Amino acid sequence: MGVLGASGYAGRELCALVARHPGAELMFACANEQRGATARFGNRSVTFLAPDDAPLDRAQLVFSALPHGASRRWVDAAHAAGAKVVDLSADLRPGNGGGGSAVPYGLTELAREQVRAASVVANPGCYPTAVLLALLPLLVRGLIAPGGCVTVVAASGVTGAGITPRQDLMFAEVSGDYRPYALGNTHRHLAEMRAVMRALDCDADLVFTPHLLPVARGILATITVPLVEPLAEPLGLWRSHYASEPFVEITGDVPALRDVVHRNVARITAHMAAGVRAPTVVVVAAIDNLVKGAAGQAVQNGNLLVGLDEAMGLPA
């Protein structure tokens, strides 16, 4: 397996997962400005290559953890060299130019069979992973009120912004603080979430307000959903929907980041909202943005692409 963008946050997480994967070997790891630098993954020291020097034809599977816009070219090059590819960028995702293409959207719990049959997969964004996994049991049953508004208030740790230094992300700026960003329903992940909701025949609006949490990793999303009818047993619905899923945990407790960091899981709870006239459910989902929201889900998809057990090498 090979990793493009290996010096970034998602890429490093991928290298660490591949290094301890019992069915894989890290053939190459690429970087841009950090090419030539070395890093330690497991018991191996790895020197980052320039992407132009990567032996793309020697890897059965290539992960691209490159920024949006830079990734597509390398996905095409790796595919042309004969590799199967998981693209962690938005370049091929629905709502970003990838909708309707032959590349499946790798929300594994939704598209497992399409992923298994594919040669290139668009790995979902981190916020969309949390939000869509939380909504799937409602989406596939048509339970979200048409014309209603799904409201998402979510917070992410600072690694969600990538490794490029920024003044507003320095320790002294974020420590002890909590603030929203992309106000006014403008975050770039909205297009991806809306496209998937539409593809599942959901005719509801989506208002998404992300926040910056002063921790390194983790996403917690609280989602308020208007329903066509009340749910007698909300937790039962989520439990039965995800009964056979190894990486989705349904809990009656409060999901917390400490339950999910460094794990490839989404932890979800759902409760009917009391004291409101229209039937409304509040769903909460927690994931590690770098694992289930990026590298872990990418390995889950990569395992399926090359015919391995989906859970191989993943921290449950």
Ligand X SMILES: NC(=O)c1ccc[n+]([C@@H]2O[C@H](COP(=O)([O-])OP(=O)(O)OC[C@H]3O[C@@H](n4cnc5c(N)ncnc54)[C@H](OP(=O)(O)O)[C@@H]3O)[C@@H](O)[C@H]2O)c1
- The binding site for ligand X (CB under 6 A) comprises 5-11, 31-34, 51, 65-68, 70, 88-90, 125-126, 159-160, 162-164, 289-290, 293-294
Q: Which is nearer to ligand X, 96 or 280 (CB)?
A: 96
Min dist. Cβ of residue 179 to ligand X (A) = 18
Output the smallest distance, CB 170 to ligand X, in A. 16
Q: Please, which residue, 68 or 79, has the CB nearer to ligand X?
A: 68
CB of 189 to ligand X, least distance (A): 9
Active-site hit among 15, 126, 149, 202: 126
Cα distance between residue 271 and residue 229, in whole Å: 14
User: At 178, which amino acid appears?
Assistant: Y
Task: Tell me how far, at minimum, the Cβ of 12 lies from ligand X, in Å.
Answer: 8
Starting at the earlier edge strand, list the strands of the sheet with 280-287.
179-180, 205-212, 149-156, 219-226, 280-287, 266-272, 248-250
CA distances from 169 to 5, 29, 162 (A): 21, 26, 10
Question: In this complex, which beta carbon is closest to ligand X, that of residue 133 or of residue 138?
Answer: 133
Active site residue 202: no
Structure tokens belonging to residue 167 = 């003044």
Cβ nearer to ligand X, comparing 20 with 73: 73
Per-residue DSSP letters for 73-93? HHHHHHHHTT-EEEE-SSTTS
Give the separation between CA 192 and CA 92, rounded to whole angstroms: 10
Active site residues: 126
